Amino acid sequence: MLGIEKYVVSLLSKTNKRITIMEKIIGLIDAPFTPFYENGDINLEPIPAYAKMLQKNGLKGVFINGSSGEGYMLTPEERMQLAEAWIKAAPEGFKVIVHVGSCCVRESRKLAEHAQKIGAWGIGAMAPPFPKIGRIEELVKYCEEIAAGAPALPFYFYHIPAFNGAFLPMVDFLKAVDGRIPNFAGIKYTFESLYEYNQCRLYGEGKFDMLHGQDETILPCLAMGGAKGGIGGTTNYNGKNLVGIIDAWNRGDLEAARQLQDYSQKVINVICHFRGNIVGGKRIMKLIGLDLGPNRTPFQNITPEEETRLKKELDEIGFFQHCNIF
């Protein structure tokens, strides 16, 4: 089935006004790293094995070319090649959401058009790092123009103000976007305010999909915010444990969920010693058996000495007995 009907259900309200309700994601989506050769070219070869590994460990799909994937450091052609490779490699039922955000909105729209053409499940965009967006209307207009490039796909706004300075109130954003962008699906919420997250989830009786975006706080968002789906970065190598938090919560085992959340925070504490998920986390992939190559400039790559220390710190928390497996 083609078109928006693949993703939505139309209902008639009491006033006979047709209402469109989009499918909400249940479970965790991974934000994968972009594989590079040593010379800095993108490397598509690991992607089929990468996709199979993620699905094996309980992930429901990928959100490619975002922050973990160094998306803003890729050319439009590279981003399209990666999208095509992930869609080709995706196992049955595995969702591929393509981040299409760019400092050039026309480029973003072309990437959105391409994502729809090749059969992506959905698209998303964060606010650009330049120019800085400081008003709700600016953000809505930006999203509106991009989403129009793929009208048959769900569009998610990726709220990560630490990356772009767009510290805007998301409830006000939902109010402004409501009814204006027909294929607006929801928000990937990567911010620290559990209160705002919950207010966004409650807006319009829960009409929008609020994807949890911080692996550090999955459990409190399940408890307070009623989270059903999320997009993570440490899910690349620790997805089995993060999925386990949700599974434990769903079966009513709060203590097991707490233990898994605490352990997942230990993993995050380690990568914080090695320049975070994009740098340290990507090197962990090599340590678990999937070498994705270096990071692009200006990221400072892990040195051999740092890799030895990274492995030692992971060994100290028993990581290799708990991490994702092939």
* pTM for the structure as a whole: 0.94
Q: Where does the pLDDT of residue 224 fall: very low under 50, low under 70, confident under 90, or very high at 90 and above? A: confident
Residue 101 falls inside a structural domain: yes
Q: Domain total for the chain? A: 1
Residue 172 falls inside a structural domain: yes
- The 10s digit of each residue's pLDDT in 46-56 is 999 999 999 99
- Is 188 an active-site residue? yes
Residue of 269, 249, 276 whose CA lies nearest to 314: 269
Question: DSSP readout, 72-121?
Answer: GGS-HHHHHHHHHHHHHHPPTT-EEEEE---SSHHHHHHHHHHHHHHT-S
Residue 287 falls inside a structural domain: no
Pairing of strands 155-159, 122-126: parallel
Residue 72 falls inside a structural domain: yes
Residue 108 falls inside a structural domain: yes
Residue type, 257: A
- Phi/psi of residue 108, nearest 5 degrees: -60, -40
Instruction: Report the CATH number at residue 249.
Output: 3.20.20.70
Structural domain for 132, as ranges: 25-253
Residue 8 falls inside a structural domain: no
- The 10s digit of each residue's pLDDT in 97-150 is 999 999 999 999 999 999 999 999 999 999 999 999 999 999 999 999 999 999
- Is 56 an active-site residue? no
From 50, 158, 189, 197, active-site residue: 158
What is the model's pLDDT at position 192? Answer: 93
What are the tokens at 164? 């772009």
Q: Where does the pLDDT of residue 225 fall: very low under 50, low under 70, confident under 90, or very high at 90 and above? A: confident
Residue 139 falls inside a structural domain: yes
Pairing of strands 8-12, 209-212: unpaired
Judge contact between 275 and 299, C-beta under 8 A.
Answer: yes
From 188, 189, 228, 263, active-site residue: 188
- Whether 38 shows a pLDDT value over 80: the answer reads yes
Q: Where does the pLDDT of residue 226 fall: very low under 50, low under 70, confident under 90, or very high at 90 and above? A: confident
- Whether 21 shows a pLDDT value over 80: the answer reads no
Residue 136 falls inside a structural domain: yes
What is the model's pLDDT at position 190? Answer: 97
